[in-house]
Structure 1
Amino acid sequence: MQKRAVGLKYQTEESTLTTLLRLLGDVPLSEVTTEDILRFLDGQPSVTFSWRRKYRLLMYFFEFWTLRELMPVLLMPTPRPAARQTFVPHIYSREHIRSLLQATPNSQKQQRCLISPQTFRALILLLYGTGVTVGEALALRCGDMDLKRGILTIHNSRSDRSRQIPICKDLLDAIRTYVAWRSTLQIHCDLMFIKNDGYALVTTSLIINFQKLRKIACITRSNGSKNQPTMQDLRPTFAVHRITSWIRNGADLNRMLPALAVYMGHSGLGSTQKYLLMTPERFRRELNKLSPVRGEKRWREDKVLMTFLAGL
């Protein structure tokens, strides 16, 4: 209740507890057993991360009622060991972003395409220029954009809270151009980004269109990973490019990272600090100290080293 009072929806958690109730029936809390919890957790195949998320939710839930002496202490099953998270988002280079934008007309030129080049280009620019999630971008309505002041109102899908973020002049000009083009169409909804028929964009078709665009732009992972770059990777790309710029300009990251967390709608600083680990620029000062004397080969010319840095 306290979490929802500050705007968090907790829909996933509500769904998990509702499913548990359907499985156990309307029984007193004192009759819930360890075997019941294990039967629920193992009832449907799930990856370790989801299993452990449900486990933590149930552990805190029953602990809440135990502390209030409304049920005896429940012995929880042995938790699954945490699985090592090896997935690393793809960070697009600025050349990659330019390639995506340049390839958009060719990608969307077929008559059967559901998304116009104008819409696709504006959406990519917004994702890269603000770091909003794909879901937040697709939920944007015309009234959420203050084009006079250059302010966007972003609605978080996980909570009822919203945030207002400023955008740079170049992105503002691009959005204004898109809005002017959009006004010439027959629109059936007030969402900002729409399909060619005037209705809301569908995430599934958007993902398919982006993968086609990525292939036309010849953008792939260079580390042999089977997970190819996605539209969702534009969010970490925004963060890494922003942090890189701050490092190069000598900004105080202790001040800037909390501001970035608020801008991106993170609930804590930990979600933002992970982007710092993806920023090779943080090693540049140390690498400059390792550079040989003038006239000899420098570390920037070492292809193996540069490949390693690009993969960090």
Structure 2
Amino acid sequence: MNIQRSKNITPLRARMIADMTARNLGPASQVGHLRACKRFAAWLERSPETAEPDDVRDFQQHLIETGTSICTRNRTMTGVKFLFRVTLRRHDLVAEIFSLKEPVKIPLVLSRNEVKRILLMAPSLKARVMLSLAYGCGMRAGEVVRLRVGDIDGEQEIIRIVQSKGRKDRNVMLPGDILGLLRDWWKERPSSQDNGVAGPDRVIFPGYNGKHLSPRQISRLFKQAAKAAAITKPVTLHTLRHSFATHLLERGVDIRVIQALLGHTKLTTTARYASVATGMISAVESPLDNLGQTKRKKSKKGAP
């Protein structure tokens, strides 16, 4: 991802890019920060270097009044804050930035039967393999499409996910069914798209010029399969990852193991799946049940 495409890059933008690169920010973070500062500059109608505290307060109010979501608003101000704090050293402006508390939402989860229907309705073998990886291994879209031959370890029955979100490596299980699907796909896979890449560096799901498919392409395939499976819930490909974690929790898998499989830094992030583990929730005995039993017992004692 090249964030310096423009030949007419301004000195301020160049300084900010240098500051982000020096601090080892990932490409996605850099693009997001630059987009946020561009939005602020467009609203300000002049260089952010000339901003005053009132401008920062008014811009935040503008975001709220124009219906910007809390998540987008906070991300935008995070990018602007980096510009003020690091590149411009304007701590007076940083002091005016505040974050809004985002609403806590529980993730949408599919039932096992719904997942099975989606996998059965996958439009192709390639789609079935990718969707099986997303659900069976709890992988993100980007992790699935970036898989390479060397990431599959059939001997140890694991898949190595390299430098994913947060620049972290992790291992996930390699179910036998998925290994079989991968082998079937390898026989059909068009080697003409490898562009001379050989060995462990060959991508499993090639696009063009030896590069991998776009995450958007697997998302479209998921939407197609979900529609064919008559799934009416507002699901996305990431719903398969949520379902993976929830179904493991319902089966009694230790939550710290699930945390490691998902690559979560904080246990609290993984713990939210306890809120949607319907099997666990429905199995909990309500105190009302005990209350009813107590009343029945008392009535029996008082009976003539």
Q: Distance in 2 between matches of 1:100 and 1:126?
A: 13
Q: Distance in 2 between matches of 1:144 and 1:286?
A: 41
Q: For 1:210, which of 222, 232, 235 is the aligned residue? A: 222
Confirm or deny: 8 A CA contact 2:145 2:205 kept in the other structure. yes
Q: For 2:53, which of 34, 37, 43 is the aligned residue? A: 34
Q: How many pairs are equivalent?
A: 258
Deviation at 1:200, TM superposition (A): 3.7
Identical-residue share of aligned pairs (%): 20
Deviation at 1:43, TM superposition (A): 7.6
1:143 alignment partner in structure 2: 150
Q: Distance in 1 between matches of 2:240 and 2:54?
A: 43
| Equivalent residue runs for 1:107-186 within 5 Å | 108=123, 117-182=124-189, 185-186=190-191
Pair 1:7–1:142, CA change in 2 (3 A) = farther
1:304 alignment partner in structure 2: none
Question: Highest Rg: 1 or 2?
Answer: 2
The normalised TM-score by structure 1 is: 0.66
What RMSD, in angstroms, separates the aligned Cα atoms of the two structures? 4.0
Deviation at 1:79, TM superposition (A): 4.1
1:236-287, Cα deviation, whole Å (9 max, x unpaired):
00000000001xxxx6xxxx22222121111211221111111123334433
Determine if the alignment matches structure 1 residue 231 to structure 2 residue 237: yes
Pair 1:19–1:98, CA change in 2 (3 A) = closer
| Equivalent residue runs for 1:43-122 within 5 Å | 46-56=68-78, 73-74=92-93, 76-77=95-96, 79=98, 81-86=100-105, 88-104=106-122, 108=123, 117-122=124-129
2:29 alignment partner in structure 1: 12
Deviation at 1:186, TM superposition (A): 3.2
Q: Distance in 2 between matches of 1:15 and 1:199?
A: 23
Pair 1:176–1:133, CA change in 2 (3 A) = same
Q: Give the 3-state SS of the residue equivalent to 2:161 in structure 1.
A: strand
1:28-72, Cα deviation, whole Å (9 max, x unpaired):
xxx753134346654896422121233356558767899xxx766
Pair 1:239–1:179, CA change in 2 (3 A) = same
Pair 1:5–1:136, CA change in 2 (3 A) = farther
Pair 1:50–1:217, CA change in 2 (3 A) = same
Q: Give the 3-state SS of the residue equivalent to 2:251 in structure 1.
A: helix
1:298 alignment partner in structure 2: none
1:218-238, Cα deviation, whole Å (9 max, x unpaired):
1122xxxxxx22222100000
Confirm or deny: 8 A CA contact 1:91 1:240 kept in the other structure. yes
Q: Give the 3-state SS of the residue equivalent to 2:170 in structure 1.
A: strand
The normalised TM-score by structure 2 is: 0.67
Pair 1:148–1:77, CA change in 2 (3 A) = same
Higher helix share: 2
Pair 1:285–1:179, CA change in 2 (3 A) = same
Confirm or deny: 8 A CA contact 1:151 1:164 kept in the other structure. yes
Confirm or deny: 8 A CA contact 1:37 1:76 kept in the other structure. no
1:52-98, Cα deviation, whole Å (9 max, x unpaired):
233356558767899xxx76644744747535355x43312111122
Deviation at 1:123, TM superposition (A): 0.8
Q: Distance in 1 between matches of 2:48 and 2:263?
A: 38
Confirm or deny: 8 A CA contact 1:122 1:178 kept in the other structure. yes
Deviates more, 1:89-98 or 1:198-207: 198-207
Confirm or deny: 8 A CA contact 2:141 2:219 kept in the other structure. no
Unaligned runs of 5+ in 1: 109-116, 222-227, 294-312
